[in-house]
């Protein structure tokens, strides 16, 4: 009597069948991720952003991702309100953008998100009261320079992270959102961190990833609140990008330049309420998801952070020795 393939498989011991089933499910999930990756990052076109309004407010536009997104949006014909703490840098980046795209309009607002929030917010309200704000890009962010245990971080450093990464985007959103509610259209893009979705924890960067976790949940809740008002809220979660927040990094397969990242990030505006904008970051996420247990990732990330900590301490000692 001939035995079918199913009968042969089911007749095997469970400790043989179970790994085969797990492997099959894992393979299907990975293939689905590849198909999703192909559609999102290769096939799907960017949206017409002018439908939200002609002006974009961008925080942290003088360096890194914020500056690259400002250029990318200006190239698409969007007018810009640049919000930062350094007037000289704001003037410089404004001149650079106008030199490349002279047809757009630009305004600058000086706000020190770690300090004069009340006065700065008043200046922002004044700057946007007579224009059609279509989008807000909450990009400004800070982190500690090197990995540290929580008890080693001084109060000024972690308070600064809380103010800039958590309090500032909340306040700026509260200023801009009423303009969008009145028009019943608009988009708020919050720049989060891959540390909140790609890996289960981020030891030695606890305060930073904690503030970014807040941004993730704030974005999800606001999206549910305001989608019926025609307002789209999105949290973009990049992994490593070559910026001032990640000193010492060089561009690689998994680490794009700000310009490379910004092109992908702008093209993703208006789609999922939470997404990983850059193609290789999504592949990185898919590979992480293949890990069978979170505690393994926890250990790997902790070891990586400790290695960075040791290298940083070694460089600091060498620098001290050279100066002495």
Point out the residues that are catalytic: 208
The SS3 of residue 80 is strand
Q: What letter does residue 224 receive in the DSSP assignment?
A: H
Residues in the chain: 324
Contact assessment for residue 278 and residue 239, using Cβ atoms and an 8 Å cutoff: yes
- Residue 53 has, within 13 A of its CA and on its CB side, a CA count of 28
Contact assessment for residue 261 and residue 65, using Cβ atoms and an 8 Å cutoff: yes
Number of C-beta neighbours around residue 155 at 10 A: 7
The Cα 238–Cα 216 span in angstroms is: 12
Token digits of residue 263: 């092109």
The Cα 204–Cα 258 span in angstroms is: 25
Contact assessment for residue 136 and residue 176, using Cβ atoms and an 8 Å cutoff: yes
Residue of 36, 56, 42, 100 lying closest to 264 (CA atoms): 42
The CA-based diameter of the chain, rounded to the nearest angstrom, is: 87
């Amino acid at each position: 009597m001939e035995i079918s393939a199913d009968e042969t498989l089911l007749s095997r011991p469970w400790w043989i069948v179970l790994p085969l089933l797990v492997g099959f499910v894992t393979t299907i999930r990975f293939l689905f991720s590849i198909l999703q990756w192909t559609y999102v990052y290769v096939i799907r076109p960017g949206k017409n952003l002018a439908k939200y309004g002609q002006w974009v407010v961008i925080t942290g536009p003088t360096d890194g991702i914020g500056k690259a997104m400002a250029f990318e949006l200006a190239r698409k014909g969007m007018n810009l309100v640049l919000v930062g703490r350094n007037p000289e840098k704001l003037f410089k980046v404004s001149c650079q953008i106008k030199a490349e795209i002279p047809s757009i309009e630009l305004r600058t607002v000086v706000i020190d998100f770690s300090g004069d929030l009340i006065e700065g917010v008043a200046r922002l309200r004044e700057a946007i009261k007579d224009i059609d704000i279509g989008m807000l890009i909450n990009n400004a962010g800070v982190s500690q320079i090197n990995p540290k245990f929580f008890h080693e971080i001084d109060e000024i450093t972690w308070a600064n992270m809380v103010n800039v990464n958590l309090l500032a985007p909340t306040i700026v959103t509260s200023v801009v959102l009423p303009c969008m509610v009145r028009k019943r259209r608009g988009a708020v893009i919050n720049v989060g961190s891959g540390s909140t979705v790609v890996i289960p924890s981020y030891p030695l960067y606890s305060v930073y990833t904690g503030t970014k976790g807040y941004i993730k949940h704030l974005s999800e809740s606001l999206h549910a609140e305001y989608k019926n008002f025609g307002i789209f809220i999105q949290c973009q979660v990049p992994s490593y990008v070559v910026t001032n927040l990640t000193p010492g990094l060089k561009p690689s397969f998994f680490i794009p330049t700000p310009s490379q990242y910004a092109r992908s990030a702008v093209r993703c505006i208006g789609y999922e309420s939470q997404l990983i904008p850059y193609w290789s970051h999504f592949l990185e996420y898919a590979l992480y998801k293949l890990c069978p247990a979170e505690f393994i990732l926890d250990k790997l990330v902790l070891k990586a952070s400790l290695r960075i900590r040791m290298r940083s301490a070694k460089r600091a000692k060498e620098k001290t020795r050279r100066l002495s």
